Structure 1
Amino acid sequence: MHIIERSRIVTARPDENGWRELLLDRDNNYFGEPPVGVARVIANFVHISDTHICDAQSPARVEYLDRYADPHNPLSKVINSLVGTYRAHEMFTTQVLESMVQRINRIKKAPITLEGIDAVIATGDITDNAQSNELDWFMRIMTGERIRPDSGARDKWEGFGGTIYSEHFWNPEGTPKGERDDQPRSSYGFPVVPELTHAVRASFFASGLEKEWFAVHGNHDALLQGTVVPDDLLRRIAIGSRKFVDLPESEVLKTLQAISESGPASYPDGSLASSVEVTPDIQRDFLTQNMFAHAMSAHGNGHGFNQEIAERGARYWVRRVGAAVVISLDTVNPYGGWQGSLDLAQFEWLIDTISQNRGSYVVIVSHHPLQDLVNGYSPNGLKRILKEDLLVELSRFSNVILWLAGHTHRNKITYFGPDEYRGFWQIETSSLIDWPQQGRIVEVFEDRDGEVCIGTTMFDHAGSIGIDPSHIKLDDVHNLAGLSRLLAVNDWQRRGGPFAIERNEGQPQDRNAFLHLPARLAISHRAASA
């Protein structure tokens, strides 16, 4: 191995409150048959996903809904799902990304082929709430600029855990006089970290990613909380001075049902919610249709995009990376819902692009994995392409060999296709917001027997391990990133059961693995001439 240490971060035994520390252990061996040498490198990628850069003070957030999925809340058994509108560690997303960027910069060669990295692919949910300041923070970190991850007031944290005290959420700086201790600290072992809400808002100079990188559009980059279409009312809430903090329990189930995987989806009724005053900030405005592409195309190589793509409002692209053709899809349903689909024009473009590149191996990258392309909602009646139709069409092409995706926040590897000559490996990589906050090296090459091999190797960001939260260095980005990872693995809603946080790690075959395909290009050439 080269640079990638053969180690893995694991959890220690839980204490009486279920709190678990993190330790370093030996990494698993690779799953699958090792390749017979390396004859030709097709492309080497670093895959990261779901950075969820978060303005955790935004008035447009609906953190208050999340507590109804807490295991001690009576409604949790009725809801029987995660809500996902609050995380104790969502204030650290910029520090985690900076720590990952520094880690990627240290990777000089891929561990199997011992060749360089051709590109870093970030497969969507760049932002958490489709806000312009969140995208600005992401771009500053990736391009190496000074960043202050703060909004609203400059002298205080105007979110949950700061000026908004609630016993249902983590308050890192302790309990104010006259209030009860919060549940995360009293029942689940969460620590007290004085001055933390000041530290996470402090300016720092980002390192900047030193490798070529490309961005993919995700549902959280277009929709409020990844689900609801922004409108004028919601924009006024986002940039305004009132932050909703609670909702009558009689409205909770109806509200959660309206935040659905398929459109239409709706935001809670603000007339029924209690609120507090916060400092307004115009930078919290939502991204419009072409702002994502414009932001990318304005820097360097455009990161997959260009001005022409941005002007026509598209958010998909094709680029040659190494010897592979990389096709990025925009799987967001613009009409709402957190699951994905394709519009007909993009679907036809995809099939045409693959057909034009039959002489090259094709790698598809998207936010949603294939199995989550189930959101067919279309109020104008226009057809949207779902997983079944897409798989049928892709199975016609032998040169499509790999699909990289995120969205599920887990590590998972699956083969899709009717046989070994028509089909592809799909690799889902975990998020940078939930445990295990990992990236993945994906190496695509031909071995000496002529097979196509795909090697995948997981790696962790550079956040500190074994830190004591009560003695953390608050001016150290790696200490803050390490604390984020520690809080993430201790999520009190995901300690066992069907939503156990360990499920995000995947099985051994979903992490470090060798994947194989027979040589395909000769078949593509024959098909093209038929």
Structure 2
Amino acid sequence: MTGTRSAVNRRHFLLSSGAAVAAVGAGWPLAALEGRTGPALVRPSRAAPDPVRAAVPAQALHEAPRAAVRRPAPFGLTTLDTTARISGSHGYRRIVQGPGWPLAVRTDLAPAGSGRDTRRTPLACFAQLTDLHLADVQSPLRTEFLRTRSLGSWRLQEALTVPGAVALIEQVNALKNGPHTGRPMAFAMSTGDNVDSNLTIELQWFLTVMSGGRITPNTGDPAHYEGTQDSGLRLFWQAESALRDVDKLRGMPYIPGYLEAAIRPVTSPGLAVPWFSTPGNHDALPGGCLAPEDPQLRDVAVGGLKLLTVSDADAAAYAKVLNTGDDPKSTVFKDILTRNAAKARTITPDPDRALFTPHEYLTAHLDPAHAGAGPAGHGYTQDNLNDDLLYYTFPIADGVVGISLDTTYRSGHFQGSVGSAQMDWLERTLASYSALSYDADGHVVRNAAADDALVLVFSHHHSPSMTRRRDAGRPEEDRHDGQDVIDLLSRFPNVVAWINGHSHVNKITPHRHAAAARSFWEVNTASHVDYPHHARVIELVDNHDGTLSLFTTLIESGAPYRTDLADLSQTGLASLYRELSYNAPGLPEAMSGGVRTSSAGTATDRNTELLVRRA
């Protein structure tokens, strides 16, 4: 598959051409960095005792030349400059351009030394994407029928996940440099829930969005949409019909041609930088919570019956086990499908909707057709494939290492955990990068043979969403929750941050150990499928005063803020995608200045400078 890498970022064009109102951004001067090299950092090279390591070309994530470090990020590409806001108090609310969010300096773990902005050395710069949820909305495995209990159980915007994701890729490509350091973007990490229903076609869409190419976001009938939105049911937004459905009663618009446009081909430029992938529960499990590799569910996924409505009793029964996770074999869901088969809608079967296994997930990532900007496998190697292991390490920059974890259950549950085998691997890997650490009793451990490096940890689940429940897919193995992971990471003072998603909320949490040096930040980023449609740019710098700073800057997609309901082009659909999500029912209504703070987070969870002591 091929695609151009010269796509125009429409919102940046409008901002830079003066067609939109300028907002004041924030950034640190870097002129004083001229000539400073900072302390020598050793590029990790020695193999740890058996961790899986990503094969990355040596030049891919190399230290940027000094001349390149000082290029400023273009104005208008981050939420430091401008943000999407909701206008109006009721009905269908439109997106408008709002002012940017200021930088919040957080000193929970270390003091902010004066003059640090004049002596910093940039160490790393990358983007975090999370919870894209690329969705085949016509899949028979979807559970839209839960909307009988809650309007928020079905997303208005899901038919547009592909053009919405492409607009985010365009924004990352346009940004090029960190907004605070000017350091070139080295890579992007997608921290899971890349797809929505564990379908092969969704995985192909994700890999093409990331690596570049043409995507037709349609399954079944090649010429017609066959989902909820042409069903004639008042329960769902019938965008092309005059029917007064429940969403039009809330003010949702009538858009002729919407469904035809939603299934038209989309072209992604692909990321212009290397990208890595971390698995989420929706990548591993049908619907993010159903039993994997189940014969009945496999047949339903590729079949020709799609269930749209059920009785209140059936919806309540499924919602109960969905919340508790006490049905690892998905018996309740399968019984509902069987019991209601006669009332299901007949659709076109499609083998491309087949469920994929972890082995197939790895194989697809390693396919040269999806290499894009690299690296081959996007973090995964042939060793991962041989052992069906979805965790690995990779070099981020000189003296900075990334660790990607697999926090998914192999049996049906949306929560996360880490198995004992992976936990042991994580401990060995951390020890191999830390010349100074602590054992479980708090005693100092020195390792002269370690490749001393700063460590950033990535996972899908955040610490509150991880449990110790047994995994029916691996019943012999003990499981570890978020607190167990925090306790382990706290033993290694070179761990700077744990970066994750899953919650669909922006939240940044300090984890402080009794020993001040043993502290790190947990950076949890909201999704790009639900409000507020965010990703992050993360920059790591050395302040040369015994502290490091981690800058976290939220970014939105490159789609224009203003949505023209008559514009059904790829760019127009990307704008509509965001506006529909901002109007989704069921979201908390507590708002301030057009911002739902419950999902967007507070000011200290958005654009931040996070200080931490350097061990």
Q: Is TM-score (shorter-chain normalized) higher than 0.5?
A: yes
What residue in structure 1 maps to residue 196 of structure 2?
Answer: 128
What residue in structure 2 maps to residue 223 of structure 1?
Answer: 285
* CA drift at 1:280: 0.2
What residue in structure 1 maps to residue 181 of structure 2?
Answer: 113
What residue in structure 2 maps to residue 39 of structure 1?
Answer: 120
What residue in structure 1 maps to residue 311 of structure 2?
Answer: 248
Matched-pair contact (CA < 8 Å) for 1:222–1:229? no
- State whether structure 2 residue 240 is matched by structure 1 residue 170: no
- State whether structure 2 residue 387 is matched by structure 1 residue 312: yes
What residue in structure 1 maps to residue 261 of structure 2?
Answer: 199
Structure 1 consecutive aligned stretches of length 4 or more whose deviation exceeds 6 Å: none
Mapped partners of 1:461, 1:91: distance in 2: 17
Question: Partner amino acid for 2:546?
Answer: G
What residue in structure 2 maps to residue 493 of structure 1?
Answer: 586
* CA drift at 1:29: 1.2
Mapped partners of 1:161, 1:502: distance in 2: 30
How does 1:360-509 map onto structure 2 within 5 Å? 360-379=453-472, 380-419=475-514, 420-469=516-565, 471=566, 473-475=567-569, 477-496=570-589, 502-509=597-604
SS of 1:11's partner is strand
Runs (5+) with no aligned partner, structure 2: 1-26, 28-72, 107-111, 435-451
CA RMSD of aligned residues (A): 1.8
Normalised to the residue count of structure 2, the TM-score between the two structures is 0.78
What residue in structure 2 maps to residue 103 of structure 1?
Answer: 171
Deviations 1:174-219 (A, max 9, x none): 13xxxx5201002x11001111111111113221110111110000
SS of 2:247's partner is helix
Mapped partners of 1:463, 1:364: distance in 2: 30
SS of 1:209's partner is coil
Mapped partners of 1:361, 1:113: distance in 2: 18
Identity of aligned residues (%): 27
Mapped partners of 1:220, 1:20: distance in 2: 30
* CA drift at 1:346: 0.7
Question: Partner amino acid for 2:363?
Answer: H
Mapped partners of 2:554, 2:105: distance in 1: 15
Question: Partner amino acid for 1:200?
Answer: A
Question: Partner amino acid for 1:243?
Answer: K
Question: For residues 241 and 375 of structure 1, do their structure 2 counterparts lie closer, same or farther at Cα, with a shift above 3 Å needed?
Answer: farther
- State whether structure 2 residue 148 is matched by structure 1 residue 67: yes
Matched-pair contact (CA < 8 Å) for 1:36–1:449? no
Mapped partners of 1:103, 1:494: distance in 2: 26
Mapped partners of 2:418, 2:188: distance in 1: 24
Match of 2:158 among 87, 90, 93: 90
Question: For residues 264 and 347 of structure 1, do their structure 2 counterparts lie closer, same or farther at Cα, with a shift above 3 Å needed?
Answer: farther
Matched-pair contact (CA < 8 Å) for 1:125–1:221? yes
Aligned residues: 495
SS of 2:554's partner is strand
Mapped partners of 2:84, 2:135: distance in 1: 25
What residue in structure 1 maps to residue 422 of structure 2?
Answer: 346
What residue in structure 2 maps to residue 528 of structure 1?
Answer: none
Matched-pair contact (CA < 8 Å) for 2:403–2:458? yes
Matched-pair contact (CA < 8 Å) for 1:344–1:384? yes
Runs (5+) with no aligned partner, structure 1: 71-81, 521-530
Matched-pair contact (CA < 8 Å) for 1:263–1:336? no
Question: Partner amino acid for 1:165?
Answer: G
* CA drift at 1:502: 4.3
Mapped partners of 1:244, 1:501: distance in 2: 33
Normalised to the residue count of structure 1, the TM-score between the two structures is 0.90
- State whether structure 2 residue 75 is matched by structure 1 residue 8: no
* CA drift at 1:261: 5.2
Matched-pair contact (CA < 8 Å) for 2:124–2:183? no
* CA drift at 1:413: 0.5
SS of 1:24's partner is strand
Match of 1:330 among 406, 409, 422: 406
SS of 2:229's partner is coil
Match of 1:214 among 265, 276, 291: 276
Question: For residues 492 and 340 of structure 1, do their structure 2 counterparts lie closer, same or farther at Cα, with a shift above 3 Å needed?
Answer: same
* CA drift at 1:501: 5.2
Match of 2:98 among 12, 25, 50: 25
Matched-pair contact (CA < 8 Å) for 1:464–1:483? no
After superposing the two structures, state which structure 1 stretch, 192-201 or 24-33, moved more.
Answer: 24-33
What residue in structure 2 maps to residue 271 of structure 1?
Answer: 338
Mapped partners of 1:390, 1:9: distance in 2: 35
Mapped partners of 2:119, 2:262: distance in 1: 45
Mapped partners of 1:4, 1:314: distance in 2: 41
Mapped partners of 1:376, 1:211: distance in 2: 38
Match of 2:614 among 506, 519, 526: 519
What residue in structure 2 maps to residue 524 of structure 1?
Answer: none
SS of 1:444's partner is strand
* CA drift at 1:517: 0.8
SS of 1:320's partner is strand
Matched-pair contact (CA < 8 Å) for 1:226–1:338? yes
After superposing the two structures, state which structure 1 stretch, 305-314 or 235-244, moved more.
Answer: 305-314
Matched-pair contact (CA < 8 Å) for 1:297–1:303? yes
Deviations 1:5-48 (A, max 9, x none): 21111111224x3x211111211210116743353222111111
Question: For residues 38 and 159 of structure 1, do their structure 2 counterparts lie closer, same or farther at Cα, with a shift above 3 Å needed?
Answer: farther
SS of 1:392's partner is helix
Mapped partners of 1:4, 1:305: distance in 2: 35
Mapped partners of 2:597, 2:229: distance in 1: 26
After superposing the two structures, state which structure 1 stretch, 136-145 or 296-305, moved more.
Answer: 296-305
Matched-pair contact (CA < 8 Å) for 2:225–2:260? yes
Deviations 1:237-262 (A, max 9, x none): 00001111111222222111111354
Matched-pair contact (CA < 8 Å) for 2:149–2:312? no
Question: For residues 240 and 97 of structure 1, do their structure 2 counterparts lie closer, same or farther at Cα, with a shift above 3 Å needed?
Answer: same
Mapped partners of 1:344, 1:256: distance in 2: 30
Mapped partners of 2:590, 2:287: distance in 1: 25
* CA drift at 1:167: 0.4
Question: For residues 313 and 4 of structure 1, do their structure 2 counterparts lie closer, same or farther at Cα, with a shift above 3 Å needed?
Answer: farther
Matched-pair contact (CA < 8 Å) for 1:41–1:446? yes
Question: Partner amino acid for 1:137?
Answer: W
